[in-house]
Structure 1
């Protein structure tokens, strides 16, 4: 559950924000049907229990993270050979606890009825990345930073990706009180994520990290629907609201799957 928790509270916070912008945009439109569509948020991780959150859209002025929970639904998920009924919990969250249900290579289909319409979505669980490694498990931040060397590669993360599949890198600082690298102060959070743009390598430079400490470096192999929603509204504004892409029929949000692999990295002084 550790990796899933890291993913939800970093990547997914950004995606939830995108969904809220999309919801607000639709509520300000004349599309009454769109206003009543449920928002689905589900990120299937291989070997982890299945969890689906369903909630109402919310107004642009609403400061809550999510809209009101939608309860009382009967949600079924199929992996092509087996169909399971999710159990309703709190805050519009529906779960299936058998972690063996979510495995690589299978297509997962979600379905439920809301406002007399069948809401559905599907996604494929990708295979796990291979060859994920760091050139060194300790990164030495220079004591004195020279802007002339900002692009100099000091460490490298690599993985095998012959088919140019979509990957994200999550750097999760696990220190309870991380110490900021004062020389490059810019108020960036200790944890951050990188869209690798279908590459198979990522170069670490003297400006990559803004805090010292121990990091979980998580490589996620993701699907196109995840990348589409992650990048759709990063440049949006109140004058230019655009609807976030969705793979949910008769709904909004995202139903997607991903594989994760994790390495440890310590960032310290040189």
Structure 2
């Protein structure tokens, strides 16, 4: 399930490439980018990336991104993470648990880099208004369907008494995708889509959002404010990078906890 969550976020990949636009920044500082989504049941894993500036002739620090000394602290203890290559660090003895606090730290470019987060509670009382939705095969030659011909949206409800952030991801899990419409010469869309973060306790999934027939899983993520803030960043200029996550010191990126629950819906013709 964690792999699905990575699909949600391509922002960090862009962030690492546009961090030093010539028109906005005259001096480049080699600052690490942290990427970690901690979910209950997973091993504690952290990825560290290097910025890729547009400006030429920049000077990088001598730090080896694959040979950093990363430590994680939780439950009053400190553990050294193992480097796997490509900036990935892991401790397979640490299983992420709900309600726990985690902090990671290391030295980079003569600075002490640190980040912290906690794991929010699993979504409670998640329900759906329907387990099946029938959508007629769409003929693109006759134009889009009228609003009146669309089936009722599927309503997802959950408890959110404290106004936390939640986000829904819908994924078709069929091995062979059966499209609802003809995509013509366009590239076919992916097998999943997502909704924007919300602080409500309800979300609607409309028929027109589905691209394929078959079984879909609806994953409701309980996310933290730092994730919602990064999601809402529509541009990745160096101005955005001057305001990194408040949970990260001397670095950019995301170090956040999440928790989820799952329902299923069948899309039929």
TM-score by length of 1: 0.82
Determine if the alignment matches structure 1 residue 181 to structure 2 residue 180: yes
Which stretch shifts more, 149-158 or 249-258?
149-158
Deviation at 1:203, TM superposition (A): 1.4
Aligned to 1:134: 128
How far the C-alpha of 1:225 sits from its partner, in A, is 0.7
The separation in 2 between residues aligned to 1:227 and 1:26, in whole angstroms, is 29
Give me the whole-angstrom Cα distance separating, in 1, the residues matched to 2:130 and 2:121.
26
Report Cα offsets for 1:78-130 as digits up to 9, x if no partner.
12422221111121100011353x22222211111112210001112111111
Q: Is the 8 A contact 1:69 1:91 kept in 2?
A: no
Equivalents in 2 of 1:72, 1:124: separation in Å? 26
Q: Superposition RMSD on alpha carbons, in Å?
A: 2.8
Question: In structure 2, which of residues 72, 76, 80 is the aligned counterpart of residue 81 of structure 1?
Answer: 76
Q: 1:189 to 1:242 in 2, by over 3 A?
A: farther
Task: State how far apart, in whole Å, the 2-side matches of 1:218 and 1:27 are.
Answer: 41
1:19 counterpart = 2:12: no
Label 1:41 to 1:214 Cα distance change in 2 as closer, same or farther (>3 A).
same
Question: In the TM superposition, what are the counterparts of 1:39-188 in structure 2 within 5 Å?
Answer: 39-60=33-54, 70-100=65-95, 102-142=96-136, 146-149=145-148, 153-182=152-181, 188=189
1:29 aligned residue (25, 29, 34): 25
- Distance verdict in 2 for CA 1:36–1:157, change over 3 Å: same
Partners of 1:70 and 1:60 lie apart in 2 by 20
TM-score (norm 2): 0.83
**Distance between the aligned counterparts of 2:268 and 2:150, measured in 1?**
19
Query: Structure 1: which 5+ runs fail to align?
Result: 62-67
CA gap of 1:150–1:20, structure 2 versus 1, over 3 A, is farther
- The number of aligned residues is 253
For the 8 Å contact 1:18–1:230, the answer to whether it is kept is no
Distance change in 2, residues 1:112/1:201 (3 Å)? same
In structure 2, distance between residues paired with 1:25 and 1:262: 41
5+ residue gaps in structure 2? 56-62, 139-143
Of 202-211 and 223-232, the range deviating more from structure 2: 202-211
CA–CA distance in structure 1, aligned partners of residues 23 and 165 of structure 2: 32
Larger relative helix fraction = 1
Partner of 1:195, secondary structure, is coil
**Following the alignment from structure 1 to structure 2, what is the Cα–Cα distance between the partners of residues 60 and 211?**
39
For 1:265, the equivalent position in structure 2 comes to 265
TM-fit CA distance, 1:213:
2.2
3-state DSSP of counterpart to 2:76: coil
